[in-house]
Amino acid sequence: MELQEIRSFLEVAAAGSFSRAAVRLGVTQPALSRQIARLEAGLGRELLYRHGRGVMLTDAGRRFLEVSQGVTQQLAAVRAELATGALDLVGSVTLGMPPSLSASMGADLALRFGSRHPGAALRIREAFSAILLEWTESARLDLAVLYDARNSPHLIATPLLLEEFFLIEPPAAGAPEPVPLLFLEEQELVVPGPENGLRRVLDAACAAEGVRLRVRMEVDCVPALKQLVERGVGSTVLPFGAVHREVREGRLRARPFRSSAMRALLVIATPANRPVTPLVRAAIRAVQEEVERLIPLNVLRGATRGPDGATLVP
């Protein structure tokens, strides 16, 4: 198994076609086909299914893609470190975060990163997951925190937090008792639009239980959603981190759901076609440490490990 064969496979998987991959690599299509054939022969399994419109990954190919992406990124990162002759953390790194998370940890994350790495600059860009995914795949971001993103030829995703969602209401007397999903049929809701990651989780969970939502407004702005709830326009659904200050101040109430479907996996994603530099790795560690710090403080609600202590699986 040669490194060039692995790189050629990754390019074919990303392009979905031998001809397009050959153009990108600057080689002939027959030469590229021979490289992939040698790789498959060495592994004893077919990695690509050839069809009239191009190629698709087989099950073996998808598994090999996951492993080989990580290996090539690590090699590229080492090469970049050795080329500079040092591991100094200098320069800038751009991190994308969804509004619900940046509201709870963005400021502290920026301050801690700046204090720890004075020679580096962390830029945080806020957007909903669909936009962050597009920016990450096109390498406009160095890393991003996304809802329910998966490994792909363009993206490498590492589980970060299995985050719980809550029904957010105006303040009321009594303990915030858990509610069944069916309770939402009685509520006037103000929620993000259908393309939002949180809304997709909500819609899927309700569809599975036959719950019909009464959506009064669709607003793709977390501060506006909270203000609408405070004004009594309706209830909403958000992660606890997005409202932890308002809940402590008695301006909002957060009630957990009884349904285990009302949660989503947050991942740290990096572009597959760009090496993970020491600075990007430092930013990844900073995000992971900040999440771990905020869970015991009851700012974030969720789990960074499975019930058995194992790493979360995307």
In order along its 314 residues, the chain shows pLDDT tens digits of 688 888 888 888 888 888 888 888 888 988 988 988 988 898 888 888 888 788 889 998 888 888 888 787 777 777 766 665 445 578 899 999 998 898 889 999 999 999 989 889 999 999 888 889 999 988 899 999 998 788 888 889 999 999 999 999 999 877 789 999 999 999 999 999 888 888 888 999 999 999 999 999 999 889 999 999 999 999 999 999 999 999 999 999 999 999 989 998 999 999 988 888 889 999 999 999 999 999 999 999 989 876 555 556 55
Output the pLDDT for position 24: 86
Q: What's the predicted TM-score (pTM) here?
A: 0.69
C-alpha to C-alpha distance for 89 and 277, rounded to whole angstroms = 9
| C-alpha gyration radius of the chain | 22
Residue ranges of E strands in the chain: 48-51, 54-57, 91-97, 120-126, 143-147, 155-169, 189-191, 215-218, 236-239, 253-256, 263-271, 302-303
Q: At what angle do helices 29-43 and 18-25 cross, to 10 degrees?
A: 110
C-alpha to C-alpha distance for 163 and 132, rounded to whole angstroms = 18
Output the pLDDT for position 86: 46
The single residue listed with the structure tokens 């031998």 is 18
Output the pLDDT for position 313: 56
Output the pLDDT for position 307: 56
The DSSP 8-state label assigned to residue 155 in this structure reads: E
The alpha carbon of 75 is separated from its chain's Cα centroid by a whole number of angstroms, namely 23
Output the pLDDT for position 88: 59
Output the pLDDT for position 308: 54
Closest of 289, 20, 276, 291 to residue 136, by C-alpha? 276
In degrees and rounded to multiples of 5, residue 70 shows phi and psi of -65, -40
Are 284 and 268 a contacting pair, CB within 8 Å? yes
Name 178's Cβ contacts closer than 8 Å, sequence gap at least 6: 255, 256, 257, 258
C-alpha to C-alpha distance for 269 and 150, rounded to whole angstroms = 9
Output the pLDDT for position 128: 85
Q: 73-82: long-range contacts (C-beta < 8 A, 24 or more apart)?
A: 73/156, 73/270, 73/272, 73/275, 73/276, 74/276, 75/3, 76/275, 76/276, 77/275, 77/276, 77/277, 77/278, 77/281, 79/275, 80/275, 80/277, 81/277, 81/278
Output the pLDDT for position 108: 93
